[in-house]
Structure formats: C-alpha cells, structure tokens
Structure 1
Amino acid sequence: MTAYDDLMAHTRETQALAQVMGRLGWDQETMMPRGAAPQRGEEMAALEGVLHARRTDPKIGEWLDTIASDTLDDVGRANLRHIRRSYDRSSKVPAALAARIARVTSEAQGTWAEARAEDDFAAFAPTLSEVLSLKREEGQALATGGDVYDAMLQDYEPGTTGAELEAMFGAMRPGLTELRAAVREADAPPKLEGAFDEGAQMKLTRQLARTFGYDMSHGRVDKAVHPFSSGSGLDVRITTRTNEHDPFNCFYSTIHEVGHAAYEQGIDREYLLTPLGSGVSMGVHESQSRIYENQLGRSAAFTGWLYTQMTDAFGDFGVADAETFYRIANRVSDGFIRTEADELQYNLHVLMRFDLERALVSHDLQVQDLEAAWNDRFEADFGFAVDKSSNGVLQDVHWSVGLIGYFPTYSLGNVYAGCLNEALRKAVPAVDEDLAKGDTTAATGWLRSNVQTHGGLFEPREVVKNACGFEPSEAPLMSYLNSKFSAIYRL
C-alpha cells in the first residue's frame, strides 16, 4: 500500500467512528431517556477522545509529508486538502479540551431543554458561560493570534470571515426591513385555521419527503423538539415536529430537512466515508434545505399541488382555492421563533444572532446580559416585545451544544439558494409545470448534478459559482424576495 492508501484507510475508520458518534447524538434528540444524559455525556467525551487521538495521530503528518500531490487526481488532491485542514486544526486543540467540550455540551443540551421548558434563562446561564468559555479557549487555540470568531467560522464555512459576512448582511438588512415595513402596511392573506390530525400530518409529511426525493430505504422520519438532519452516506435520518393547529410547521420542516438529507444522499457513493463524503459546508448545506423549502416548496406551482394533497388528507379545511392557499403558505406573520419564521423575516432572526454571538465571543457582551440584549434587539428589529425566554434567548439549541459560528450559515445558505434558484430556472424553464404536478425530479435532479454529487470536492463558494456560472452574492435573493412578496401583497 502507498502512503495515500494508508492515509485513506485511517481516515475511513475515523469517519466511521464519527458516524457512530453522530448516531448517539440522533438518539439523544429522539429516543434517549432523559435520565441517561450524564452517562451519555461520558460516552460522547470518550468517543471524542478516541476521534481526537485519531485526527491528531502523528502518522497523518508523516503521510502528508510523504505524499506527492502532483501524483494524485482531483479527488485525491481534494481529500488531502480536507485531511490537512482537519489535521492542522485538530492538532491545535489539546485532547483534554476537546473531550471536555464534548462532555459539557452533551450535558448542556439537557440543561438547556429543562431551562427552556421552565422559561428560566438564569438556570441555563452558568452552563452557557462554561460552554462559551471552553469554545473561546478552543477558538484561541485555532486562531493562533488571529480573530477568534473567524477561527470558529471555519468549522462551518471554510474560507469565510466575520467581516465578509458583516458586509453581506449589512447590504441585505436595509432591503429586508424596507420590504417588511411595506408588507406590514398592506392587506394580509388570511391565516390557516382549524385542527389538523397529527397522525394525518405525519402520513402526508412522509409522502412529501418521498416527493422531494428522500430515499427512505436509507433514512427515516422521526419527531423531535427541534427538527434536524443527521448522518451521511447510507444512513441519513431526519426529524420533524407536529402542531395540531399548524400543519405547515410539520410539512415545511420536513421539506427543509429533506433538503439537507438529499444533499447527503446525493453525494457520489465513491466518496463514502472519506472527507468528500459529506456536505462541503453548512452554507452550501443550508442552500439545499432552503431552496427545497422555499423556492420550490412554497412556489405557486408546488403549493397548488400541495393544496390538493391537504384536501385529500383533511377534507375541506376552509381555504377556497389554490391561489389563496399559496398566499397563506407565504403569509408574513409576527412571530418569535426563527424556525417558524416566514421567508421574508427569517434572515432578520439570523442577523440578530450573528451580531449577538460575535459580541459574546469578543467579550463585548456578557452572558448575564444576553437575555436583555436579545430582548432589546428583537423589539427593535421586529416591533414587539419577547414575552418569555422560550420564545427568546432559549429557543435555539445551538449555543448550548457549542455551535458558535453556525448561525450565519443560515443566511449565507439563503444567499446561495437565491443564486441557485436563478440558475436552476434558466436551466430548467419548465420547472413550474412539473412542480404543479407534484413532480420535483427535474429541479432536484439539477441540484443533485450541479451541487450535491460533488460533496466536498470543491470549496464552498466554488460549488455555487460552478453551478450558477457567477460569483455568489445577495442580489438574486433580494430580487427574488422583492418580486415574490410584492406580488403576494400587491405592493
């Protein structure tokens, strides 16, 4: 065997163990008994210790020094790029710190859930302070004197910086707030009302998952408090949630998570259990979930088909026709929860979190002041006050599990989705005719061929540029939002 073969064999075993750790995380969110949390924390810490040791094994450095990259093809060079990046980053973080972060964040997830149930941020604040302190320590080790937040971002969106995101989001914010203000002054579509059987919701949501190409022979749909997608390759699982009075919550959470899962299932099987065998970044990942959910799933064409499916499932549910249903499905509504936010206001939720977490990392904001800062910013951005912690600072799981630097990838994913939607509709001009029949294969097939199959072969922005033929920017997204909501609200 060559040095490259040895390196890849080692990497595949490491990737397989990481998948096992991910499955433990899935179980913790869906089926694990609540009382098992302390033991699960020890299990996660033990596995993280094993993974960290494998990722920092000196043999990796020796193999990397031995391999001549000019003897490899594009796939081999891309594997080396990812392995070198992971090795360099992992080697900067002490093993004891990595294990402690795994243990503390596993236990913190349960603490957050309890505090959220009790609407008691003060009960969670000490745990969040500990998580933040550990993540800062990790970020400082990774930054080696550079910007700590930028170092954290590399785990989710390699190659981007906080300053670049600040400029992009700064360009988006005025247009979003201006459009939002105009919409709030206009006549709103009606609300969806009534009760929708939750068993029937789950039956239809599984149909929607299959409609968008989710391979149920390599996946499953379960319920969780916070919908998510987990896994890669041959085992990719999603969760959703139900609300008797809001079936859209279930249906669009499912379509969103199917976007993530379809990305993982669509990656070239030759990359299985290699660094190329999963999504290249969270921004690109989010582009898939958001284009599935919004530009496809909330389009006039697809909602017309969904209207007939809901009529079949629930009977007459009080909506007169498909056009009204489309306007209802895209209604701009006041609300506290990011994951339930309409397409227009969603990015304002993310931009707020981006600013707050940067301030936390830089010590410009202290944890004990976070809830007040959140509430002040929310009222300034949305025009009404947060009523309780579970609708405010405690609504998201991310900070409790140490995902600092993750939030901005949601809006970056929306930007990428705007670019991809523009390119998709030029490449597949009959896409709406298909969607009106509940046929997503042309649209999802284009995304699979141009984005998903490549996995980690290219760098994140390179993936989007190659698919679209132009450098990604916020302009297509803003044009799409203005056109769509101006029509819906007859501005």
Structure 2
Amino acid sequence: MTAYEDLMAFQRQTEALAQVAGRLGWDQETMMPRGAAEQRGEETAALEGVLHARRTDPRIAGWLAQAKAEDDESEAQLRLIRRSYERSTKVPGKLAEELARVTSIAQGVWAEARANDDVAAFLPTLAEVVRLRREEAAHLAGGGDLYDALIDDYEPGATADTIGAVFGRMRPRLVALREAVLGAEYQPPVLSGKFGTDAQLRLSRDLAKRFGYDFTRGRLDTAVHPFSSGSGSDVRITTRVVETDPFNCIYSTIHEVGHACYELGVDTDYLLTPVGAGVSMGVHESQSRIYENQLGRSRAFTGWLHGQMVERFGDFGIADAEAFYGAVNRVQAGFIRTEADEVHYNLHIMMRFDLERDLIRGKLEVADMEEAWNARFLSDFGVAVDRPSHGMLQDVHWSVGLFGYFPTYALGNVYAGCLNASLRQAVPSLDEALTQGDTSAATGWLREALQRHGGLRPPADTIRTACGFEPDEGPLLDYLEAKFRGIYRI
C-alpha cells in the first residue's frame, strides 16, 4: 500500500469512531435517562481520548510527508487531514478529554437550569466550560487572537474581523427594514389556537419527506433544542412541539432537514473520509436556512402548506393563502433566536457574536453575562428580557463549548441569499413547483451544485463554485427587502 492508502485506511477508522461519539451525543439529547449524565460524561471523555490519540498519532506526519495527491479529491483529503493533525497536536490530550467530559455533563446542567429559569445554578458550570475553552484557544492561537482560533473550528478561514465587517455592512439595512416593517400600517394576522402534538409531528414527517429526507437513513425525534446529527448513511434530526405555535415545529423540522440532506447528499465515494461531510458550519447553515426560509417560507410553498393546515387542523382562523403567507413571515421583536423572523434573526446573531467574543477575550466574565445579555437585548430589540429562559439560557451552544459557532448562522444566511439568487436563475419554474408542494427541483439543484461535493473545496470556494460569483451579503439583503416590503405593503 502507498502512504496515501495507509493514511486513508487509518483515517477511515478515526472517522467511524467520531460517528460513534456523535451517536452518544444524539442519544444524550433524545433517549438517555437523566440519571446517566455523569457516566455519559466519563464515556464521552474516554472516547475523546481515543480520538485525540488517533488524530495526533505520529504516523500521520510521516504519511503526510510521503503521500502524493493525484487528483482533486486526494488533494482535498490531504489538506483536511493535515489541518486536523496540526490543530489536534497543539491541544494536550488531557485537556481534550476534560473538555469532552465537562461539556457532556454541562448540557444536562444547562437543560435543568433553563427549565427552572435558574441562572445561578448554571454559572459555575459555564465558568468551567469557558475556562477550558480559553485554555484550548490559547494552545491553538499560538499567541494570536483566542476567538479567531475557535471560529476556525467552525468556519475555516474566517476571523472576527472579517465577520464583523460583514455584520457592520448588514446591520444598517436590517435595522432600517425592521423599523419600516414594524411601523407599517398593514400588519399580517397572528396565528392562534391549539394544534395537537401528534398532528404536528405527522405533518413534520410529511414535510421532511417533501424536502427529500430519507427515513431509511434517518429518524425524527424531539429535543429541547432541535439539531441534526451524523453523516453518511445515518443522519438523524430532531424537532420540538409547542401546541400553540405549530410554526415552531414545522420550521424547526425543515431547518434540520436542510442540514441532514447536506450530509445525506454527499457523494457516497467519500463515505467515512474527511471530505465526506459538510465543509463548514456556515455552508451547513446555508442549506438549513435556504430550505427553511427561501423555500419553506416562500409565498408559493406556504400557499400549498395552508391547504395542508386546513386539511389537518380544520378552520384555524386564517382563511386564505395570502394571509397565511403573512402570518408565517410576521415580523416581531421576540426573545427566542430559533423562533425569530428573517428580519430579526441576524440581529440575534450579531448580539451573541459580540458577547461571546468579549467573553473568550476576557473582556466579559461569566458572572456578568446575564446583565450584559439583558442590557444588550434591550438596546437592540427595545424589549426587556422577562426571564432567563428567554435570555442567556435559551441556547444550548455555550453549555457545550461551541464558542465561535454563532456567527456561522448569519454567514449561512448570507450564503443562502447567494444560492437562492443562482437557484432562481437556474430553475425559473421553481415557484410553479412549490405551489404543488414539490421541492425536488430546488433540492436537486442544491444537491448537484453543492451538497454532493462535501468538503472537496474550502467554504468560500464551495459557495463561489455553486453560485458562479463571489459570496457577499447583497443578495440576502435585497431578498429580505423585496419580500418584507411586499408583505407589509410598503
């Protein structure tokens, strides 16, 4: 066997073990009994120790030195393995294990604190997570910026400065649009009533199939915070149900299906290799957001969805498809990021980006986070946070150490805006299909243009190749202004 073949055989086993670790995380969120949290933390740490040892195995350096790339795929495999090896060897094994153990346990602590609106119960655990992530970032940064070192885990090549520049250009237009919409004379109707859990979940399963989710290689469960897990031939999704808000379940499901279809759509030749998964969280979010918003919240698709709602729930108070389209896309300054409309969503992300950047850089301490969150939220949204579960306890990310992850949600929206512009040009009859609940033309184009390539190209190159132009925020902002000025008749 050549050095490249030896390296890929070794890497395949590492990737398989990483999938097992991911399955432990899925189980913890969906099936695991609460009393197993401490033991699961030890199990997760043990598996992370094995994975870290494999990722830093000295043989990798030798194989990388000898391996020759013969085509685009092998070049990408070597690039990704080299990147992983260089980052992994900077982090001590004991630290990697301790992070895995603490964040596994922290997830349960956060969930209980959130349920009880008890910030004080969560702060000691959060402080430990932050301490460990700062330590890890210091090893990775090598004297550079700590937050940039963590961003690189989720969006390789991005920095706080480049992301901050994009956000700086987006904010004025978003704020102006929000003010125009909230001040408009016409306001869409508000959905009210109760919608049974079982009926919502049946509709969610049907919608998942409509958007191309393959239930022979996945499953749909419920979780406190919806997520997608896995890659290759086992990609699982979760949703959540609020009986007074079926849109929560509907659009959480479509969002996670977007993530899942990216993983399921990667070329099977790349299975259990570094190229065989989504290339970055920003690109991943582009798939979940375009499925959820540009497709799922479009006038064409909501027209079809209105008929489904009437069929399943009877007269629910919104008589026609156009009013339903407005209700689905209604703009309001709510507390919860995952329930935010498209106008407000990126403003939620910008707030979290600023807070967590200051936290990792040491400009903000954990003890002061609740006060900082509440003050910033009041400033940005004009509403006072009424309870912690509507404030700093609403998101799971910080409990599991995902600092640097939040900005990728907004980058995903930017990428989705670019992809939507190209999709509309490539498939001019798209709306006609969506009015029938048929998403196959859109999902097929996305699979061919982007999803099947997995990690073959770096993130920005992935979007550039799919769209045919450099990614920027313009298409997203143009789309938002046209859509919401239309809905609000301004």
TM-score, structure 1 length as denominator? 0.99
Pick from 106, 109, 129 the counterpart of residue 107 of structure 2: 109
Q: 1:191 is paired with a residue of what secondary structure? A: coil
Are residue 273 (structure 1) and residue 272 (structure 2) matched?
A: yes
Give the structure 1 partner of residue 68 of structure 2: 68
**Aligned partner letter, 2:25:** G
CA distance in 1, matches of 2:275, 2:359: 33
What's the C-alpha RMSD, in Å, of the aligned pairs?
0.6
Deviation at 1:109, TM superposition (A): 0.7
Q: How far off its partner does 1:45 sit?
A: 0.1
Q: Please give the secondary structure, in 2, of the residue aligned with 1:155.
A: helix
2: CA distance, partners of 1:228 / 1:110: 16
State whether structure 2 residue 366 is matched by structure 1 residue 367.
Answer: yes
- CA distance, structure 2, for counterparts of residue 26 and residue 68 of structure 1: 37
Aligned counterparts, 1:11-410, within 5 A: 11-69=11-69, 72-186=70-184, 187-410=186-409
Aligned length: 489
2:171, 2:347 within 8 Å by CA — same for their partners in 1?
Answer: yes
Alignment deviations for residues 217-274 of structure 1 (CA, whole Å, 9 cap, x no partner)? 0000001110000000100000001111110100000000000000000000000000
3-state secondary structure, aligned to 2:343: coil
SS in 2 for 1:422: helix
Q: CA deviation at 1:66?
A: 1.1
Are the aligned partners of 2:4 and 2:68 in contact in 1 as well (CA < 8 Å)?
no
**How far is the alpha carbon of 1:320 from its aligned partner?**
1.1
| CA deviation profile, 1:91-123 (whole Å, cap 9, x unmatched) | 000000000000000011111111111111121
User: What is the DSSP-based 3-state SS (H/G/I as helix, E as strand, rest coil) of the residue aligned with 1:344?
Assistant: helix
Q: Bigger shift: 282-291 or 120-129?
A: 120-129
User: In the alignment, is the contact (CA less than 8 A) between 2:265 and 2:452 conserved in 1?
Assistant: yes
Q: Please report how far the alpha carbon of residue 333 of structure 1 lies from its aligned counterpart in structure 2 after TM superposition.
A: 1.8
Q: Which runs of 5+ in 2 are unaligned?
A: none
Write the deviation string for residues 390-409 of structure 1: whole angstroms up to 9, x where unpaired. Answer: 10000000000010000000
Q: Mind listing any 5+ residue stretches in structure 1 that lack a counterpart?
A: none
2:3 equivalent to 1:6: no
Paired residue for 2:455? 456
Partner amino acid, structure 2, of 1:342: D
In the alignment, the residues of structure 2 paired with residue 194 and residue 404 of structure 1 have an alpha-carbon distance, to the nearest angstrom, of: 38
Distance 2:322 2:22 in 1: 42
Identity of matched residues, %? 68
**Alpha-carbon distance in 1 for matches of 2:251, 2:134:** 35
* CA distance in 1: counterparts of 2:102 and 2:54, whole angstroms: 21
- SS of the residue 2:115 aligns to: helix
Shift of 1:68: 2.7
In the TM superposition, residue 195 of structure 1 has moved relative to its aligned partner by 1.0
SS in 1 for 2:342: coil
Shift of 1:147: 1.1
